[in-house]
């Protein structure tokens, strides 16, 4: 999965080393009589003869998935990747080689479709997917034109008084046959099939239009909307003009738009990324660094790139109060961000203990199920009404031990 990302981030020399390491690892797992072949850049085929049943084949698939997920130590760098394994099984003489390969290929795309890092056994129910990738792309393309995509919005509140100061747009896909497809599946799919630009553009336009409607309904004058942008989009040439066009029509202030990027943006092509981010920021919008602390990037990037907001990943918030190290890390991130002139959002606040701890540490803003789950645009419109907002602030003041937000 994502060999291309490794090549893009670290260069082809590292990509080649990774391929050799993957091959060596797989070769070590082969039994006498098995065949291992490389079909194309990132595709391998393993032929195992005399496998007793599909369940035995599945066990082999599982072993491969697990073995390939262990970290690879290459020259000066440790890389971790996952693999998608597609399995096809046939009794002796039942299938042609072409048919077996085709079924394995179809199953492999199913594994990728479910997020990669897993195996999938071909089942006859998949037979209608004669060209899996093409069908997947057309499903996704159709999703936009058929109106199957929608944005939900999650409140971001001021830590001091729980007022909603902004929302984050999170894309959702209702597939006609498969039901709700979560963002964690949809976005990687879109990135693999190059549809991320279309989907990202759609989500941004939609979010900006919804903010306009909330403003018209009243109570949302200074409310911001944050939209996630994938690394693929930032470096594409069409992105900047798209953002400029969106900001141009409508009467909303550009500083009400935040684009959320992840540290992976910096890994790709840092000169290009730096240039693209500076141009975006010149449009007057804000940039947030999402999931901070989970990527590979170093602190140098914080000096080099024009970021306004840091969002502390929820993995750090999850064990606040239980793990001294997490407390120390969060506090250090807040202090560092503040001394760099950035504001901080704590992600994934699920209870009042976490809420109080991040308030004590001086986090400016908070987001999480404790304050509100992602909700449809109309629900947000209601929540932004002045009486709702006053109620929220009032609810916090009524707490038994009000704490200072430290900012
Ligand atoms: P993210 O940007 O970090 O968004 C926050 C995710 O955490 C959301 O998941 C949200 O529902 C979830 N979350 C919020 N509060 C809590 C909490 O208190 N506890 C827990 N356990 N989870 C919480 P979701 O909606 O599944 O989105 C996942 C990711 O998909 C997002 O992570 C973002 O990276 C990506 N994504 C979503 N929409 C878009 C989009 O339009 N474009 C791009 N490029 N990526 C998107
Ligand atoms: Mg985000
Ligand atoms: Mg996040």
CA of 263 to the centre of ligand 3 (A): 11
CA of 301 to the centre of ligand 1 (A): 23
Residue 239: its H or E element: helix 239-248
301: alpha, beta or left, given left = phi > 0 and alpha = psi -120 to 50?
Answer: alpha
Ligand 1 site, residue 308, Cβ cutoff 6 A: no
Residue 262 phi, psi dihedral angles, 5° rounding: -115, 170
Pocket test for ligand 1, best of 153, 170, 195, 370 (most atoms within 8 A of CB): 170
CA of 188 to the centre of ligand 3 (A): 15
pLDDT digits (tens, 9 = 90+) for 113-154: 777 888 888 876 554 443 344 556 678 888 988 999 999 999
Closest ligand 1 atom, residue 233 Cα:
44
Ligand 1 site, residue 290, Cβ cutoff 6 A: yes
284: alpha, beta or left, given left = phi > 0 and alpha = psi -120 to 50?
Answer: left
Tell the residue nearest (CA) to atom 10 of ligand 1. 374
Closest ligand 1 atom, residue 350 Cα:
18
In eight-state DSSP terms, residue 254 is G
pTM given for the model: 0.71
Q: What is the pLDDT at residue 199?
A: 94
Buried b (16+ CB within 10 A) or exposed e, 218-253: ebbeebbbbbbbbbbbbbbeebbebbeebbeeeebe
Tell the residue nearest (CA) to atom 22 of ligand 1. 348
Ligand 1 site, residue 369, Cβ cutoff 6 A: yes
Q: Are 61 and 85 in contact (CB under 8 A)?
A: yes
Ligand 1 site, residue 228, Cβ cutoff 6 A: yes
Q: In the numeric block, which tokens belong to residue 37?
A: 């072949």
Ligand 1 site, residue 372, Cβ cutoff 6 A: no
Tell the residue nearest (CA) to atom 7 of ligand 1. 348
Tell the residue nearest (CA) to atom 25 of ligand 1. 170
- Regarding beta strands 365-367 and 343-346, do their DSSP bridges make them parallel or antiparallel, or are they unpaired? parallel
In eight-state DSSP terms, residue 31 is P
Pocket test for ligand 1, best of 140, 155, 187 (most atoms within 8 A of CB): 187
Bridge-partner residues for 77, per DSSP?
74
How many angstroms separate the Cα of 137 from the Cα of each of 171, 194, 199?
17, 9, 12
Q: What is the pLDDT at residue 122?
A: 85
- Cβ count near 24 (within 10 Å): 10
pLDDT digits (tens, 9 = 90+) for 357-407: 999 999 999 999 999 999 999 999 999 998 888 777 656 555 444 444 433
Tell the residue nearest (CA) to atom 12 of ligand 1. 348
Distance of alpha carbon 39 from alpha carbon 57, whole angstroms: 20
Ligand 1 site, residue 171, Cβ cutoff 6 A: yes
Tell the residue nearest (CA) to atom 35 of ligand 1. 183
How many angstroms separate the Cα of 335 from the Cα of each of 128, 179, 292?
56, 43, 14
Q: What residues contact residue 49 under an 8 Å CB cut-off, 6+ apart? A: 33, 34
Q: What is the pLDDT at residue 253?
A: 96
* Low pLDDT (below 70) residues in the chain: 124-137, 268-269, 295-298, 393-407
In the three-class reduction of DSSP (H, G, I as helix; E, B as strand; rest coil), residue 1 is classed as: coil
CA of 228 to the centre of ligand 2 (A): 5
Closest alpha carbon to 375 in 183, 152, 149: 152
Q: Is the dihedral of CA 16, 18, 21, 25 positive or negative?
A: negative
Closest alpha carbon to 229 in 291, 179, 284: 291
Q: What is the pLDDT at residue 394?
A: 59
């Amino acid at each position: 999965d994502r060999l291309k990302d490794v090549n893009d981030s670290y260069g082809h020399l590292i990509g080649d080393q990774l391929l050799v390491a993957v091959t060596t690892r797989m070769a070590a797992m082969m039994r006498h009589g098995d065949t291992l072949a490389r079909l194309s850049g990132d595709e391998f085929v393993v032929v195992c003869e005399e496998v007793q049943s599909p369940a035995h084949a599945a066990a082999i698939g599982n072993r491969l998935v697990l073995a390939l997920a262990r970290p690879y130590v290459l020259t000066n760098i440790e890389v971790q990747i996952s693999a998608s394994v597609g399995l096809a099984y046939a009794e002796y003489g039942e299938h042609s080689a072409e048919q077996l390969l085709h079924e394995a290929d179809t199953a492999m795309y199913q594994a990728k479709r479910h997020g990669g890092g897993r195996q999938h056994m071909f089942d006859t129910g998949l037979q209608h997917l004669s060209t899996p990738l093409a069908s997947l792309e057309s499903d996704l393309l159709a999703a936009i034109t058929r109106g199957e995509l929608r944005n939900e919005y999650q409140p971001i509140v001021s830590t001091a008084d729980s007022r909603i100061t902004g929302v984050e747009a999170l894309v959702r896909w209702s597939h006609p046959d498969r039901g709700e497809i979560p963002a964690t599946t949809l976005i990687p799919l879109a990135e693999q099939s190059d549809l991320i630009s279309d989907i990202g553009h759609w989500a941004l336009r939609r979010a900006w239009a919804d903010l306009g409607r909330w403003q018209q309904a009243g109570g949302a004058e200074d409310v911001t909307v944050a939209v996630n942008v994938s690394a693929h989009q930032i470096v594409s040439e069409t992105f900047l003009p798209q953002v400029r066009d969106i900001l141009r029509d409508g009467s909303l202030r550009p500083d009400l738009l935040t684009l959320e990027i992840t540290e992976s943006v910096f890994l790709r092509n840092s000169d290009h990324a730096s240039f693209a981010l500076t141009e975006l920021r010149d449009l007057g919008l804000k940039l947030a660094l999402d999931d901070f602390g989970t990527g590979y990037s170093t602190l140098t990037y914080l000096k080099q790139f024009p970021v306004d907001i840091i969002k502390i990943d929820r993995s750090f918030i999850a064990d606040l109060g239980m793990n001294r190290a997490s407390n120390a890390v969060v506090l250090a991130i807040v202090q560092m961000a503040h001394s760099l002139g950035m504001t901080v959002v704590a992600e994934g606040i699920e209870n009042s203990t976490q809420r109080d701890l991040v308030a004590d540490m001086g986090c400016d803003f908070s987001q999480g199920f404790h304050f509100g789950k992602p909700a449809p645009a109309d629900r947000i419109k209601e929540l932004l009404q002045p009486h709702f907002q006053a109620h929220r602030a009032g609810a916090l003041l009524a707490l038994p031990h009000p704490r200072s937000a430290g900012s």
